[in-house]
């Protein structure tokens, strides 16, 4: 999901799609869902790296976007790291 979020954000930044609303329409998801995905790009770099290198098992990601939501809600990376550590236990 994180890699997809970065690709979507890149498409918006490059003008491939006009905005989040257009990206959501093209992907067939709600704007709220797109926001949830794009929020992943706000995670601390170390957390993003861990997520990207988690091995998928049977085609299923190791950690769902939903599981990471409590981490994303923190604006400060230090708070994100603390929450991430708590979630991984």
In the DSSP assignment, the letter for residue 15 is T
Count how many domains the chain has.
Answer: 1
Average pLDDT over residues 45-72: 86
pLDDT at 55 > cutoff 70: no
Whole-model pTM: value is: 0.87
Instruction: Identify the band that residue 63 occupies on the pLDDT scale cut at 50, 70 and 90.
Output: confident
Structural domain of 73: 2-88
38 three-class SS: helix
Instruction: Identify the band that residue 31 occupies on the pLDDT scale cut at 50, 70 and 90.
Output: very high
Q: Give the list of residues 6+ apart from residue 71 with CB closer than 8 angstroms, or none.
A: 43, 47, 80, 83, 84, 87
């Amino acid at each position: 999901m994180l890699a997809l979020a970065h690709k979507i954000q890149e498409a918006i930044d490059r003008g491939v799609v006009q905005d989040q609303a257009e990206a959501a329409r093209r992907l067939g998801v709600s704007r709220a869902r797109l926001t949830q995905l794009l929020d992943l790009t706000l995670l601390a770099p170390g957390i993003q790296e861990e997520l990207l290198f988690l091995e998928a098992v049977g085609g299923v990601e190791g950690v769902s976007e939903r599981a990471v939501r409590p981490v994303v809600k923190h604006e400060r990376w230090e708070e994100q790291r603390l929450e991430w550590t708590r979630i991984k236990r």
